[in-house]
Every structure is written in structure tokens, then in C-alpha cells.
Amino acid sequence: MQNAVIQEAEVYGAVAPDADKEDGIDMKWNYKIDLIDDAVFHEIEKQRGIQIPENLISLVKEGNAATPEKYKFMIGQTEKVVGAILSFNKGDSDSVFTALDIIEDQRIVPFAIDPFGNYICLNLKNKEVIFWNHETGDTFSTEKELEAFLKSLY
């Protein structure tokens, strides 16, 4: 299965994370910064003692540091927004490395940030996307796995 990611009128193919899904995710990205080194995922996995799921790796490769065209999502009855996918390049602002230093739970992998400094993360324990509040450290579940979360953006 293939999904198309459209960036500045160019089409890039990416393998859908789950072969049993009927449709891939079409996402238009704005302000993307190319990922410099794919080895970054292995480095994070080794540092935290985790395995980053392939669908999250694919998301970062397609939208590193970019803002998705559809960026709103719901936590219960509260609307939240994705400001940008975190950059997985060392030295970039709003990088995953800053977020990893802040979030102590090794099973939580931040992958996006909102305009207010809160993180959107993948909880590796139950594979759900969560919202991490930077002021309190509290987390709130979207009750969706990554692909469903991305499809739910509006």
C-alpha cells in the first residue's frame, strides 16, 4: 500500500505503516526541513532503551519539522493544535532532543509540539497518541493510535 505526501506540489511516496489499512494518509506539509541522518532513530532507541515504531519513523521522515496542513485535533471536548512535527535533526530549534530531556518517562516519545510548548507524543506502552502539558507534566490521551490520530486531524 502506498500513501502520498504532498509537499510544495511534489509527490513523495511512503509505505503505509499498516499493510492491512485500506487507505494511506494524505498529508500536505509546510516548511519541512529534510532529515539529515536516519541513524538518529537508532540513537534515540539506544539512549532510551526503546523501539520506535516504523509508522512514527515514516511520519518524521515525511514531515520533519513541518507543519501539517490539517493540524487541529480533539482531547475530549477540547480542541488542540499541532504546531509542527519536532525536528529530529540535532541543533534545530523545537527538536526532539529538547523534548526528550524534559519528558522523563522513557515510554513516551514526543513527535510534535503545539504553539504553547506542549508536546504531542506516542505512548509506547499502549501505542496511543497523548498530549503532554508542559506546565504540569500531565498527559491526556487522544484514545487513538498514530495512524488514526493523523487521519483525525482537521
Q: What is the pLDDT of residues 60-70, one digit of tens each?
A: 999 999 999 99
Q: Say yes or no to pLDDT of 10 above 80.
A: no
Q: What is the pLDDT of residues 90-140, one digit of tens each?
A: 999 889 999 999 999 999 999 999 999 999 999 999 999 999 999 999 999
Q: How far apart are CA 143 and CA 89, in angstroms?
A: 29
What mean pLDDT, rounded, does the chain reach?
Answer: 87
Query: Coil, strand or helix: which one is 75?
Result: strand
Q: How far apart are CA 102 and CA 127, in angstroms?
A: 20
Cell numbers standing for residue 49? 532503551
pTM for this predicted structure: 0.83
Q: Say yes or no to pLDDT of 5 above 90.
A: no
| pLDDT at residue number 25 | 65
Q: What does the domain layout of the chain look like in residue ranges?
A: 35-152
**Does domain 35-152 correspond to CATH entry 3.40.50.720?**
no
| pLDDT at residue number 93 | 87
Q: How far apart are CA 138 and CA 32, in angstroms?
A: 29
